[in-house]
Amino acid sequence: MAGVTSGRLGPGDWVTWEAIHFGLRLRLTSRITQFDPPHRFIDVMVRGPFERLEHVHEFSRSGDATEMRDLFDYASPLGILGRIADALVVRHYLERFLQKRNAYLKEVAEQGS
């Protein structure tokens, strides 16, 4: 939507995403705060629906393949209500979302090889 919308992201770059989750149109802006190719990069939400969100993307060799690991640290807004929503719905939803996104990224990456 905004920021870097094509090509590669790098240190200090930002991007704004818009997506529908839970029937709501949500907009999230993240900035690349750490960049250490080809090992890792970290993006941090600077504007969006969470109280805080940090997403660490780590890459390592595994034989002839590359393994990607996501570390997703977030807090939902609304204090205790957010923590209850996390326990009941949000955590499981985000885990499924990341698994589906990573399966898609794997498919796209393997098509290029």
How many Cβ atoms from other residues are within 10 Å of residue 32's Cβ? 19
Q: Provide the pLDDT for residue 31.
A: 96
For 78, phi and psi rounded to 5 degrees?
Answer: 80, 25
Q: Which domains does the chain have, with CATH numbers?
A: 2-111 (3.30.530.20)
Cα dihedral 110, 29, 74, 82 sign: negative
Per-residue pLDDT of the chain (113 residues; tens, 9 = 90+): 667 777 888 999 999 989 998 888 999 999 999 999 999 999 999 999 999 999 999 999 989 888 999 999 999 999 999 999 999 999 999 999 999 999 998 899 888 75
pTM for this entry: 0.83
Instruction: Show the 3-state SS of 10-63.
Output: CCCCEEEEEEEECCEEEEEEEEEEEEECCCEEEEEEEECCCCEEEEEEEEEEEC
Q: Provide the pLDDT for residue 1.
A: 64
Q: Provide the pLDDT for residue 113.
A: 57
Quick check: helix, strand or coil at residue 99? helix
**23, 9 in Cβ contact below 8 A?**
no
Q: Provide the pLDDT for residue 4.
A: 75
Q: Provide the pLDDT for residue 7.
A: 80
